[in-house]
Structure 1
Amino acid sequence: MTSNSILWLRRDLRRADHPALVAAADNGPVAVLFVLDPSIFDPAGPVRQAWIARTLEATAAAYEGKLCVRLGDPAEVVPAVAAEIGARSVHVSTETEPDGSVRDRRVRDRLGELGVAWEETGSPYAVTPGRVRNGEGGAHRVFSPFAKAWRNHGWRPPAEKPADLALLELESDPEAWERLTAAATAPGLPDLPPAGEDAALHRWRTFLADDLEAYAEDRNRPDLSATSRLSPYLKLGVVHPRTLLHDLADHPGKGPAIFTNELAWREFYADVLHHNPDSLWQDLNPALAQMPYDEPEDLIQAWKNGRTGYPIVDAGMRQLLGSGWMHNRVRMITASFLCKHLHVWWPVGARHFLQHLVDGDLASNNHGWQWVAGTGTDAAPYFRIFNPMLQGPKFDPEGAYVRRWIPELRHLEGRSAHEPWKNEQGYARGYSERIVDHAEERKEALARYQLTR
């Protein structure tokens, strides 16, 4: 017997490879719902709001204009929509982030009071966090063993599209779309990538054809367009990692193996957060709990604005502000500078990144920061301090990345763009002088580290 059901979209804004959609369609007609929760949407920065808005516009088109967007608290909205259409079940992708899990329990309990079934099928990950275990049945705390166990666990093939999908048409909340339209067209936004599932799959096919083979060698070069740039799409589930892994199986070699490893890092950090929800904003590793930190507001602001006087750091911070994205190698360099040169606790930087990154993923962002800070799982030792004067020339050897994002240094050729202090004309166009001395701050960081021991 068929009955109406709801597919409640969250981090799964697509139609292809969507197990929850398949499960919903098996019951009969489906209402596709997205709840615009002001408690989540309003605090997000303009870039994140715009990316959500544009992705929802593309998702609505993919669902033939039958995406219902309602504004409010999901614990109120979802049961109300279920009552409105007489739904017997609500279908979702499993959520494992701390706030999302709490929200889902609230919604599930309210639906239970109405006699509406709660059905979880699939998740935003190839392997749902919590399923990969070590030999003792516990959670992994180090990446390499996790990655091996993750591969051994394996994943299902991509889900087939429903053979017979009947979409119910529900009226959206006009205010919800007004907010989304305003966010999508807000003034001063950076040049964001095209939104939607078709754009994501096009980007993936282009990467497979043009960049995958050399990915292992070129992925650390911010001066090259050598990365997949899929992270914004993965963030909102516009493409599923299982789809990518399925396609990668047809591509042997080092590049595909390294790219698979990057997907494993994403799943590892999600697993760590699932098992340690307090690590979202607290040190996972308490070994440095006594570390003294500073709060130099003027220096933090210089870092945020890309005016530290260290070109590779400033180029990264300006790329973040100018594009809503930053190359991963440069994320590590800029994070290390804040933590080790300015002696600032990592959440300050993590929050700034989340405000501006179009791909701002809680687990990956915050645990990546802890990796650099030396307080997370599988962390770089605290005493490993990225030297921006070496990192820049190593990964941007001709200075092209620096010149792209720092106009004040475009008159300097080649490597000299990384070393304006060595050039008589280095500061001729107003570039900032160094706000701290690398050698002194490295010594200070190591002294603070010794205090914790």
Structure 2
Amino acid sequence: MTTVWWVRRDARLADNPALLAAQEDGPAAAVFVWNRGVHLWSGRRRAHLARVLWSLKEDIGGALGVRRGEAADAVLAIAREHDARVVVAAREGSPAGIGAQDAVASALAADGRELRLVGTPYAVAPGRVRKSDGSEYRVFTPFSHAWREHGWPSPAAHADPEAFVPVESDVDLDERAAHADAEDPLTARHEFREERVREAWEGYVDGPLARYAEERDRPDLDSTSHLSVPLAYGQIHPRTVLAATAAMPGEGPRKLEAELAWRDFHADVLFRHPRAQRESLTTVLPDDSWTTGRDADQAFMAWRDGRTGFPLVDAGMRELAATGTMHNRVRMVVASFLVKDLHLPWQRGADHFRRALLDYDHAQNQLNWQWVAGTGRDAAPFFRIFNPAAQASRYDPERRYIERWVAEVDTPAYPAPMVDHAAERAAALADHKRARAGAGG
């Protein structure tokens, strides 16, 4: 009897419990649904997704079906076409992901079929790490301790690439990639083949990982894992990463594990508080603190286009525009600058990152912005305001990163700083003081 594997954020053959469950009783029918939500993605994300799916399809002998429409309709249609009583998929924790799996489960149940949720894109599924009384952790450090104590399974076995039945597609992946590339070009393509992703990770383990703790904040050095894109598209599972780091001594592996713990923490927060995708969890400023109108639009566009006159901010925004990624230290600096120097709400920055990031992850994006803005769970205190010049001096001491992305930095063509950082810092802190006074403390 055929079982359907509904591909979600797990487009891979290695360490994929949902796929293994779908193959338990014989060949599986694999389907990815190119739904309305995907149509709303940026062109760069759609192009990369098309290539990821193309690679998976090639790895399983062309058997992957890619269907247009909403998940409930498309998955039910595939189940009927293959007389499948069971559909297996990885469990999602975001509001949109939960909505999709609930709709699919209802459609299948009404037709006498079942959706079986197996596995998760996280080391520990959102909602599983909790205090002894069942409540949530609001602070990261105790969450991370409980997260480690909870633990996770060893990586699952590699699925059989030949145990699939052919599924018809009505989406041309080559065409989708070409159109999206033309709409939203990048300077270079990122790796989209699962085998190459694993090889790159293994090479990182054998090399730069040992230096990760000391060099991870240096955008001028190539010392980060480059896992954010394959994690976002499900081409590698956190368990695979954690299995490798667990076997290694030193601070580098421990720091990388902590980054995965933050990923799970933010997913847990969004799972428990869906409103966090748009609403601040904590109020830190009065409503009249924000820049509005034409001034706000002009400030946002200068930030977006990398022409603020602050070299590290501009370098980060130009890197984002060109590559779809940005070094994590620089992400914090540009986010702080938008919220605390330009006095624009974090939601505006989060929306731009959603459009521009190739490694976009909903929970990570929204809650990281709330972290910088001081409004999220265990967020940086609002009074922690990054000084772009000091950050550049400390983390890009020879200005190699800045000069790579802002070639005109030392010429008359480069603009003067658009604001006085010290003055804007003082204004932001004064606004925060008013908010605290209004809240009684």
Asked if Structure 1 and Structure 2 have the same fold, meaning a TM-score greater than 0.5 normalized by the shorter chain, the answer is yes
Which ranges in structure 1 are unaligned for 5 or more consecutive residues? 410-425
2:18 maps to 1:9:
no
User: Which residue pairs with 2:305 in the alignment?
Assistant: 305
User: Which residue pairs with 1:101 in the alignment?
Assistant: 98
User: Which residue pairs with 1:30 in the alignment?
Assistant: 28
Cα-to-partner distance string for 1:398-419 (whole Å, 9 max, x where unaligned): 000000000102xxxxxxxxxx
Question: Percent identity among equivalent residues?
Answer: 44
How far the C-alpha of 1:322 sits from its partner, in A, is: 1.0
Cα-to-partner distance string for 1:176-233 (whole Å, 9 max, x where unaligned): 6633443356573231322121121111012111101111000000000000011000
How far the C-alpha of 1:30 sits from its partner, in A, is: 0.6
Preserved contact between residue 53 and residue 181 of structure 1 (Cα < 8 Å): no
User: Which residue pairs with 1:417 in the alignment?
Assistant: none
**Which amino acid in 2 is paired with 1:383?**
F
2:114 maps to 1:117:
yes
Cα-to-partner distance string for 1:76-96 (whole Å, 9 max, x where unaligned): 111111111111110000011
How far the C-alpha of 1:390 sits from its partner, in A, is: 0.4
Q: CA RMSD in A?
A: 1.5
Partner secondary structure for residue 228 of structure 1: coil
Choose the corresponding residue for 1:437, options 416, 420, 431. 420
User: Which residue pairs with 1:173 in the alignment?
Assistant: 170
The runs of at least 4 aligned residues of structure 1 exceeding 2 Å deviation read 161-166, 174-190, 286-292
Once residues 265 and 370 of structure 1 are traced to their aligned partners in structure 2, the CA distance between those partners, rounded to angstroms, is 13
5 Å matches for 1:146-225? 146-162=143-159, 166-174=163-171, 178-183=175-180, 188-225=185-222
Preserved contact between residue 42 and residue 184 of structure 2 (Cα < 8 Å): no
Which ranges in structure 2 are unaligned for 5 or more consecutive residues? 437-441
Structure 1 residues 291 and 241: alpha-carbon distance in aligned structure 2, compared to 1, 3 A threshold: farther
How far the C-alpha of 1:53 sits from its partner, in A, is: 1.2
Preserved contact between residue 54 and residue 184 of structure 1 (Cα < 8 Å): no
Preserved contact between residue 190 and residue 324 of structure 1 (Cα < 8 Å): no
Preserved contact between residue 13 and residue 236 of structure 1 (Cα < 8 Å): yes
Once residues 164 and 181 of structure 1 are traced to their aligned partners in structure 2, the CA distance between those partners, rounded to angstroms, is 27
Preserved contact between residue 203 and residue 230 of structure 1 (Cα < 8 Å): no
User: Which residue pairs with 1:45 in the alignment?
Assistant: 42
User: Which residue pairs with 1:404 in the alignment?
Assistant: 404
User: Which residue pairs with 1:78 in the alignment?
Assistant: 75
Once residues 181 and 169 of structure 2 are traced to their aligned partners in structure 1, the CA distance between those partners, rounded to angstroms, is 17
Once residues 174 and 301 of structure 1 are traced to their aligned partners in structure 2, the CA distance between those partners, rounded to angstroms, is 35
**Which amino acid in 2 is paired with 1:268?**
F
Cα-to-partner distance string for 1:30-87 (whole Å, 9 max, x where unaligned): 10100101x2122211221121111111111122211111111111111111111111
Once residues 369 and 128 of structure 2 are traced to their aligned partners in structure 1, the CA distance between those partners, rounded to angstroms, is 25
2:121 maps to 1:136:
no
Preserved contact between residue 25 and residue 165 of structure 1 (Cα < 8 Å): no
How far the C-alpha of 1:438 sits from its partner, in A, is: 0.7
Once residues 157 and 369 of structure 2 are traced to their aligned partners in structure 1, the CA distance between those partners, rounded to angstroms, is 37
Choose the corresponding residue for 2:275, options 273, 278, 283. 278
Partner secondary structure for residue 235 of structure 1: helix
5 Å matches for 1:366-445? 366-409=366-409, 426-428=410-412, 430-445=413-428
How far the C-alpha of 1:238 sits from its partner, in A, is: 0.4
How far the C-alpha of 1:360 sits from its partner, in A, is: 0.8
Once residues 272 and 195 of structure 2 are traced to their aligned partners in structure 1, the CA distance between those partners, rounded to angstroms, is 34
Cα-to-partner distance string for 1:134-162 (whole Å, 9 max, x where unaligned): 13211111110100000000000111134
Partner secondary structure for residue 31 of structure 1: strand
How many residue pairs match? The answer is: 433
Once residues 159 and 389 of structure 2 are traced to their aligned partners in structure 1, the CA distance between those partners, rounded to angstroms, is 54
Preserved contact between residue 54 and residue 195 of structure 1 (Cα < 8 Å): yes
Once residues 384 and 139 of structure 2 are traced to their aligned partners in structure 1, the CA distance between those partners, rounded to angstroms, is 18
Once residues 294 and 71 of structure 1 are traced to their aligned partners in structure 2, the CA distance between those partners, rounded to angstroms, is 41
User: Which residue pairs with 2:439 in the alignment?
Assistant: none
Once residues 288 and 32 of structure 1 are traced to their aligned partners in structure 2, the CA distance between those partners, rounded to angstroms, is 49
2:347 maps to 1:364:
no
Structure 1 residues 221 and 125: alpha-carbon distance in aligned structure 2, compared to 1, 3 A threshold: same
**Which amino acid in 2 is paired with 1:17?**
D
Preserved contact between residue 291 and residue 449 of structure 1 (Cα < 8 Å): no
More moved, 388-397 vs 178-187: 178-187
Once residues 213 and 369 of structure 2 are traced to their aligned partners in structure 1, the CA distance between those partners, rounded to angstroms, is 23
Structure 1 residues 149 and 109: alpha-carbon distance in aligned structure 2, compared to 1, 3 A threshold: same
Once residues 399 and 77 of structure 1 are traced to their aligned partners in structure 2, the CA distance between those partners, rounded to angstroms, is 51
Once residues 174 and 281 of structure 1 are traced to their aligned partners in structure 2, the CA distance between those partners, rounded to angstroms, is 32
More moved, 164-173 vs 383-392: 164-173
2:430 maps to 1:447:
yes
How far the C-alpha of 1:130 sits from its partner, in A, is: 0.7
Preserved contact between residue 220 and residue 395 of structure 1 (Cα < 8 Å): yes
2:236 maps to 1:236:
no
Give the TM-score taking structure 2 as reference length: 0.95
How far the C-alpha of 1:288 sits from its partner, in A, is: 4.2
